[in-house]
Structure 1
Amino acid sequence: MNNTQGSLTTLALQKFKKNFWGVFSLSIVALCGLIAVFAYVLAPDNSENANQMHLSIHSKKPGFTVTMLTLPDAAATNESFFKKMFSGVHTAATEIPVNRYRFTADSLLYTEYNPEPAMALEKAIALQPAFNTAQKKAIEKRYIKQQTFILGTDKYGRDLLSRLLIGTRISFSIGFVAVFISLVVGVTLGSIAGYFGGKVDAFIMWIINVTWSIPTLLLVIGITLALGKGFWQVFIAVGLTMWVEVARVVRGQMVSAKQMQYVTAARALGYSNFRIISKHILPNIMAPVIVIAAANFAAAILVESGLSFLGIGAQPPIPSWGAMIKDHYNYIILGKAYLALIPGFAIMLLVMAFMLVGNALRDAFDVKN
């Protein structure tokens, strides 16, 4: 049976490789996965949650460039590379956008950024006496730089590109966690219902039908409010609403598969029900489950975005694509629609990629083609 399963899997893989849009979409998904892992390495603003605010340069267009003066954090501590990569740099350093700056004998004079330079006030930072040219160059190299915001800044003056990159983690995390929970719950209940039948099947189907009758978003909101607002609460809530379809498919496949000869042979050999289900039946009925899992990835991303838009998803300052749309949707009528459209396009691209991968998997596992 393993040889047959292996050959079917090989044929499905070959068919999948011939599907251009499936392979292309899988490449997009893989690229987004790499971005999610290395988000803080790639993000121009690698502070925790990319939350460096510069209110004086809020809502600037893509490509905006400004001179940035950094006032170091005296209490800064060394952090490991892996901590920086996975949670960002925890810093209290202050970044100040400036129009211009100049050095005097014992001070650094600067004017904070203002669209009207004539109205900007000049401020001073005291330096040690007898300040020399070498020290001036060292300060300019370390603390003063030209910073370009490739996608512009949001309404709080944060780098939109950095927030977008780090927000990829939320979408991927919600997909993996929600799909994992839905598979564990759905496969378990569907297998039990389909294999044993009778009252057990009737009871589990009753639970499935009740859960199915409740609108998904409403059920997620209810679970989220019960568990509380937060990062992991949303993941669990979304996962607990996506197991129903998995359970129905697994149950239907199990009802058909348990009549097969190899199951009868396994029973005759005295194998336990758990072994028959886990070792013999499930490996042969997982193809449609894989297709559903790919679709659930896309659905989970959309549900999380909707929750964040409503304000009960990932809480600020954690970057989330849905929350970014919520913060800036009113900018659409103010001539800065890109602030909402860019995260919206990111959601659309990732969801479409997952859906196309699911369609390609469905075609690859379809024995009629």
Structure 2
Amino acid sequence: MSKKSNSLKQLALQKFKKNFWGVFSFYFLIVVGLISVFAYMIAPDNSKYANQMHLSIHSKKPGFKVTMLTIPSQFKTEQSMFNRFFFGNKNANTEAPILRYTIEDETITYVEYASDGLEGVEKQMSLKAFPKGDISDYIKEQTFFFGTDKYGRDLLSRVLVGARISFFIGFVAVFISLIIGVLMGSLAGYFGGKVDAVIMWLINVTWSIPTLLLVIAITLALGKGFWQVFIAVGLTMWVEVARVVRGQIISTKEMQYVTAARALGFSDFRIITKHILPNIMAPVIVISAANFAAAILIESGLSFLGIGAQPPMASWGAMIKDHYNYIILGKPYLAIIPGLCIMSLVMAFMLIGNALRDALDVKS
């Protein structure tokens, strides 16, 4: 007969499994993570940053369909499978939305798509320009399930590729904040005295500066870009972790098992890393989940202000910035769709944080 283990980890896991919204959010984040990794494999427009523009079909409603003619390029692009998988396809071909076409005497005649009921320009091309020989391989009906943005780009593809920035900034920012916060909090809480006074002064100064203002200052110092935003957000979120770790260590360092470790002659480094930190990680895990959500919101705010991810990189915050004025122009979905994506991702992290808080609460 097997004996059921009543370890704290298993009890916490059992309590977490009973929380419907926590489990639902966990699987939702797994799905978003897979979408972020395989974005270019899923997106209809797998070009780099999903940046294939068609100005003639800009701002079309969800479900819009058009016939698309792909005109092969004379330039050959060499790209590895790994690069294509993670950074998109360096597509040199030209895509042209067309209304109709006819083929006569090894020549294709097509009329370009023009919105508002207008007639587009009629053009002709030799079929020799299409290497495969079968013109039907280059003419396909394309459906834009989320419509197109103001530049005629596929909004669904931009949303999928933009998930990568919002999702991974949480991991990078929280990783940076954990390294700095746990280090500073451990030193302040364990050694106390002047070390604690200096670190607490640094924490209070950092905390007194508005987060967004501090991120903007760091971003301007490091330069605008993808990784600069990650580092800037991470460097502003460590203070909360440090305060939590400091408080937990102050209340834990006088426990009997810590006193026993000192009596056995263990070094301070071993006592902190092997005995104290493993026993105080529950509140750190909870605050890390909240920091995930905060990092996503900060990045979206920076992109909205134009100092986050730079065009043509897809970012949910930048998509809202580009289309927020369309809310009063009868096409609110251009800003609402990325807004709902941000809201759902932040909500999932907050729900997981609440579920972890309840599961790791030993008093309940």
**1:116-195 equivalence runs, <5 A:** 119-128=119-128, 138-195=133-190
Contact 2:127/2:133 (8 A) holds in 1: no
Contact 1:182/1:240 (8 A) holds in 2: yes
Aligned position for 1:58: 58
Q: CA RMSD in A?
A: 1.7
Shift of 1:91: 1.4
Contact 1:179/1:293 (8 A) holds in 2: yes
Q: Percent identity?
A: 73
Query: Pick from 319, 323, 346: which aligns with 2:318?
Result: 323
| Residues 1:231 and 2:226 are matched in the alignment | yes
Distance in 2 separating the partners of 1:230 and 1:331: 26
CA deviations over 1:110-164 (Å, ceiling 9, x no partner): 11101356632210112349xxxxx999533321100000000000000000000
Secondary structure, counterpart of 1:205 in structure 2 = helix
Distance in 1 separating the partners of 2:110 and 2:212: 51
Contact 2:127/2:135 (8 A) holds in 1: no
Change in Cα spacing, 1:191 to 1:6, as seen in structure 2 (3 Å) is farther
Query: Pick from 313, 330, 333: which aligns with 1:335?
Result: 330
Aligned position for 1:109: 109
TM-score when scaled to structure 2? 0.96
Distance in 1 separating the partners of 2:225 and 2:132: 46
Contact 2:70/2:96 (8 A) holds in 1: yes
Aligned position for 2:11: 11
TM-score when scaled to structure 1? 0.95
Aligned position for 2:192: 197
Distance in 2 separating the partners of 1:71 and 1:340: 32
**1:269-280 equivalence runs, <5 A:** 269-280=264-275
Distance in 1 separating the partners of 2:125 and 2:151: 25
> How many positions carry a matched residue from both structures?
360
Aligned position for 2:71: 71
| Residues 1:366 and 2:361 are matched in the alignment | yes
Aligned position for 1:80: 80
Shift of 1:77: 3.1
Q: Which amino acid aligns with 1:204?
A: I
| Residues 1:218 and 2:213 are matched in the alignment | yes
Shift of 1:76: 2.5
Distance in 2 separating the partners of 1:108 and 1:249: 69
Stretches of structure 2 that go unaligned for 5 or more consecutive residues are none
Secondary structure, counterpart of 2:45 in structure 1 = coil
Distance in 2 separating the partners of 1:246 and 1:62: 43
Change in Cα spacing, 1:271 to 1:106, as seen in structure 2 (3 Å) is same
Distance in 2 separating the partners of 1:103 and 1:179: 58
Contact 1:99/1:117 (8 A) holds in 2: no
CA deviations over 1:90-127 (Å, ceiling 9, x no partner): 11111000011111103111111013566322101123
| Residues 1:33 and 2:33 are matched in the alignment | yes
Aligned position for 1:284: 279
